[in-house]
Structure 1
Amino acid sequence: MDMNQYLSMFIDESNDHLQSLNENMMGLEANPDDLSIVQVIFRSAHTLKGMAATMGFEDLASLTHQMENVLDLVRNGKLVMQDFIFDTLFKSLDALEAMVQDITGGGEGKADVSAIVASLQAIVRGEVPSAQGGSAAPAAAASTE
């Protein structure tokens, strides 16, 4: 199958999902306890991940997968949104936008997102810096669910 015929559709839909992600992240930042917004963000990230993987844009798919892992913990009440998590998710969105812009310009959408991925993975492990500079455990991380 020739994926080039789907590239324009991928770019259009990716841009729509990125706009939705940005708008909903700002909405979540204003109301961090609204899990319905987290659900919408998760679905957009999940769809973007699937589209990117189908098109062979592995860096994009990998980053959205790591975002999903964080969002899944939040939507299931195992992680509470904090400034560091918001900052990391917004950095993720900036990187995703840059990758989609690269693809739009004829590039391969590759980017070194290793630092952002490492931050997302640290959040999943419960290594979220607190405002005091220490480490704060995610909500319910100590429980053995």
Structure 2
Amino acid sequence: MPPDSPGPGPGSGRDPGPPADPGDSSPPPGAPWWQRGGEPDYRATLANERTLLAWFRTALALLAASFVVVQLTDIAPRALRLALAGYLIALATGVTVTGYLQWRTRQARMRGRQPLGRGTSAPLLALALLLLAGFVVVVTVLAP
């Protein structure tokens, strides 16, 4: 570069911008959600994973209950037991999907340093369990 030409700098028109952070390894646009943002505090990540495991334990208990209802009871007609077991299986599937989606959403928000927000999963689960309680009452009333 000739000595009389302005070098790269704020007034030269060729401003390189702020120096690059050597620790900044920003993923390219369109990168998967788990590569965006920064690494969250490991304690928050572990707490989020424990919550996911609690959702999975709940789903497993519902699946076990569906097996018990179908195989080990004769207190109600088979059609009612199958309906109750089907509801339990559907509820277990819903709990699994909801738990995963909640985990993923919160993990992505933690990585992006965003507020966790409010979830709708607790009221939905409460409603589903109330429906289950009503179903059990109907099966009990109709049992011989």
TM over 0.5: no
* TM bucket normalised to smaller: 0.3 to 0.5
Bigger RCO of structures 1 and 2 (CA < 8 A, at least 6 apart): 2
Structure ranking higher in helix proportion: 1
Point out the structure with max Rg over C-alpha. 2
TM-score, scaled to structure 1: 0.40
TM-score, scaled to structure 2: 0.40
